[in-house]
Structure 1
Amino acid sequence: MLPLAKSTNLLVMFLLELGVLASVGYWGFTAGQNWPVKLLLGLGGVALFIAVWAVFGAANDARVPLTGLARVALELLWFGGGAAALALAGRLTPALAFAAVYVVNAILRLAWNQ
């Protein structure tokens, strides 16, 4: 049963990563006043988040893998950015739910050495 729970937790982590990108894109497309600005914020924000995650956070494939407190800071900024994007887009309840799922996921990953 525990291996299934650990695998599920890793799946939730992956879905949270995708959720950050969706949240940033949603924020960008709702924040702008006109279509060029919406495209810049929506696509540019997602591209920036992808670049940061690819360089620092993508587990074994990161160019500059972070560990320890640096990894904690990255995750807090990354997933906190996703929750903040939802909140800035006027979706406070989903933002709080997203943050809560991340906290539970992080605690379980820490407890299970994932």
Structure 2
Amino acid sequence: MGNAFLAFVLELAMLVFVAWWALALDHALWTRLLIAAASVGALVVLWGAFAAPKARVPLPAAGTVAVKALAFAAGAAALWGLGLPAAAIAFAVLAAANTAATTYVRRDRAA
């Protein structure tokens, strides 16, 4: 239960970090808003289609982990781009550990 809650918090944090990065760019406001909406929207679609517990396109465990790694890497890269390398590393490590634990628990339930 706690791991599932942490997974949800990490997923939301990833989206917030990407939006924050886009809004901090040195462009016109409408451009930043467009980039933020497109980036977050793409991540939401990617996650919902392939990585969510009730994904529209179920993948084998390795495929789901790859999609999650890509999405969480975007969140970590956003933090890095904001000049927060320690936070980026901490987020990446926490997301990787949580994804590993979630994958292990789901594998045990499926067996």
**Residue 3 of structure 1: aligned partner:** none
Flag as ranges the 4+ runs of structure 1 deviating above 2 A.
106-114
Once the two structures are aligned, what percentage of the paired residues are identical?
32
Which of residues 40, 43, 64 in structure 2 aligns to 1:46?
40
- How much is the aligned-residue C-alpha RMSD, in angstroms? 1.5
Contact (CA 8 Å) 1:31, 1:89: kept in 2 or not?
A: no
Shift of 1:113: 3.4
TM-score if structure 2 supplies the norm length?
0.86
Pair 1:65–1:47, CA change in 2 (3 A): same
Which of residues 82, 90, 101 in structure 2 aligns to 1:108?
101
- The alignment of Structure 1 onto Structure 2 pairs a total of residues equal to 107
**Residue 7 of structure 2: aligned partner:** 13
User: Counterpart of 2:98 in structure 1: which amino acid?
Assistant: N
Contact (CA 8 Å) 2:47, 2:68: kept in 1 or not?
A: no
Which ranges in structure 1 are unaligned for 5 or more consecutive residues? 1-6
User: Counterpart of 2:16 in structure 1: which amino acid?
Assistant: A
Which ranges in structure 2 are unaligned for 5 or more consecutive residues? none
